[in-house]
């Protein structure tokens, strides 16, 4: 018996097999598949029939070797895959998948050595581009230290690059703070306190700065006269709420740096018998559903549209791959999600 079609290596049909079955040469079979070039319709049909009969699918590696495009991008997460990077990652994967591009996942766990290692692997695999994302909004140093990096496009998502010549896609912290403040002011609050995370986090600093700036335009000031920096935790929210009520008992709203803090604040208020939102309104940040929805009452909060950040980063990367890069920092607007805490 003659040997069955199928490579000795993969067991799958090759273009040679298709060509043989269709009674044409590989060259013709190839052209029939790539769609271009003129050829007799019935010949093309014979090839397509053979393809169907054999369940042929082109070997991506062979194609790439020839065309120089791997249809693959690297997704490098700098400090673990968590609550923030996951939606970004999914948004990116979604946008790329539509473009027939696959995603190589690399988690560096915040380790420089690991990062170098992963970058080298990605370049060895001839990825068409790289998306870098981290959990913080603080700017990070651009990728370096691996030869070949210069020749492929890189887009930074969520954590922008410190180099303005790079392409970064970030959340609009200013807009987020503004949405929160406008909402509180619109619902008649004027004695607003701000409780947030550590001052050394850009997210905390930026949101605070913009919140204050927006108040001053009213013109108003923070009810306690200052920003309460602390931790991104419920425990800090609880403690801070106590402190705020002691300092400024007439506070009528809390704008919190994240949903955990907001939930802590809400808990303290409830336990003190303060009605939320009747007496005091609470606004969080992140729209982390498990937090925002489990809170009593459920939290009004700011959604950073993380998936959209990932999606846009992917689109920018595709642009940079196919045409030209659009350097600079691209900002994705936030969304106010109103629930029962305001």
Q: What six digits make up the tokens of 207?
A: 């949101």
Binding mask 56-95 for DNA (x = CB under 7 A): x-xx--xx-xxx----------------------------
If one asks whether residue 30 binds a copy of itself (CB under 8 A), the answer comes out as: no
Using the Cα atoms of residue 241, residue 244, residue 250 and residue 252 in order, give the sign of their dihedral: negative
If one asks whether residue 234 binds a copy of itself (CB under 8 A), the answer comes out as: yes
As a whole number of Å, the CA-based R_g of the chain is: 27
Q: Which helix (H) or strand (E) holds 45?
A: helix 41-54
| C-beta of residue 54 within 8 angstroms of C-beta of residue 77 | no
SS3 annotation, 310-341: HHHHHHHHHHHHHCCCCCEEEEECCEEECCCC
Q: Which of 192, 158, 185 is nearest to 172 (CA)?
A: 158
Give the range of 6-14, 19-27, 187-195, 211-219 binding a copy of itself by CB under 8 A: 6-14
Q: What six digits make up the tokens of 255?
A: 């704008």
Give the range of 27-35, 145-153, 203-211, 279-287 binding DNA by CB under 7 A: 27-35
Q: Which helix (H) or strand (E) holds 107?
A: strand 102-107
| C-beta of residue 12 within 8 angstroms of C-beta of residue 60 | no
Q: Which does 15 bind (CB under 5 to 8 A by kind): a copy of itself, DNA, none?
A: DNA
| C-beta of residue 327 within 8 angstroms of C-beta of residue 142 | no
In the bound complex, what is the minimum distance in angstroms from residue 265's beta carbon to DNA?
58
Binding mask 293-322 for a copy of itself (x = CB under 8 A): -x----------------------------
For DNA (CB under 7 A), the number of binding residues is 32
If one asks whether residue 45 binds DNA (CB under 7 A), the answer comes out as: no
Binding mask 62-81 for a copy of itself (x = CB under 8 A): x-xx--x-x-x--x----xx
Reduced to 3 states, what is the DSSP secondary structure of residue 129? strand
Q: Which does 124 bind (CB under 5 to 8 A by kind): DNA, a copy of itself, none?
A: a copy of itself
Q: Which does 241 bind (CB under 5 to 8 A by kind): a copy of itself, DNA, none?
A: none
Q: Which does 31 bind (CB under 5 to 8 A by kind): a copy of itself, DNA, none?
A: DNA
List interacting residues with DNA (CB under 7 A).
7-10, 14-16, 23-28, 30-31, 33-34, 37-40, 42-44, 56, 58-59, 62-63, 65-67
């Amino acid at each position: 018996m003659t040997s069955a079609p199928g490579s000795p290596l993969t067991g799958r049909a090759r273009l040679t097999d298709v060509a043989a079955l269709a009674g044409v040469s590989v060259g013709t079979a190839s052209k029939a598949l790539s769609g271009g070039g003129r050829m007799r319709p019935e010949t093309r049909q014979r090839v397509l029939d053979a393809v169907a009969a054999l369940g042929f699918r082109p070997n991506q590696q062979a194609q790439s070797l020839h065309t120089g495009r791997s249809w693959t991008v690297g997704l490098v997460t700098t400090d673990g895959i968590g609550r923030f990077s996951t939606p970004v990652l999914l948004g990116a994967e979604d946008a790329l998948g539509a473009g027939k591009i696959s995603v190589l996942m690399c988690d560096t766990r915040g380790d420089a050595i690991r990062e170098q290692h992963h970058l080298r692997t990605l370049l060895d695999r001839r990825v068409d581009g790289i998306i870098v994302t981290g959990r913080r909004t603080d700017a990070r140093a651009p990728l370096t230290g691996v030869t070949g990096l210069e020749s492929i496009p890189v887009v930074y998502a969520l954590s922008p690059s410190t180099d303005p010549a790079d392409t970064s896609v970030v959340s609009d912290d200013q807009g987020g703070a503004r949405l929160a403040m406008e909402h509180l002011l619109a619902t008649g609050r004027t004695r607003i306190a701000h409780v947030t995370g550590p001052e050394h986090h850009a997210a905390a600093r930026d949101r605070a700065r913009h919140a204050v700036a927006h108040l001053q335009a009213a013109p108003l000031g923070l009810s306690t006269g200052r920003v309460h920096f602390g931790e991104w935790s419920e425990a800090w929210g609880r403690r801070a709420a106590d402190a705020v009520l002691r300092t400024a008992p007439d506070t009528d709203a809390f704008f919190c740096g994240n949903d955990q803090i907001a939930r802590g604040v809400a808990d303290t208020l409830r336990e003190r018998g303060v009605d939320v939102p009747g007496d005091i309104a609470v606004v969080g940040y992140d729209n982390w559903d498990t937090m925002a929805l489990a809170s009593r009452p459920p939290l009004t909060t700011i959604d950073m549209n993380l998936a959209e950040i990932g999606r846009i980063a992917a689109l920018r990367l595709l642009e940079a791959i196919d045409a030209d890069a659009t350097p600079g920092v691209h900002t994705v607007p936030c969304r106010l999600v109103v629930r029962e805490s305001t």
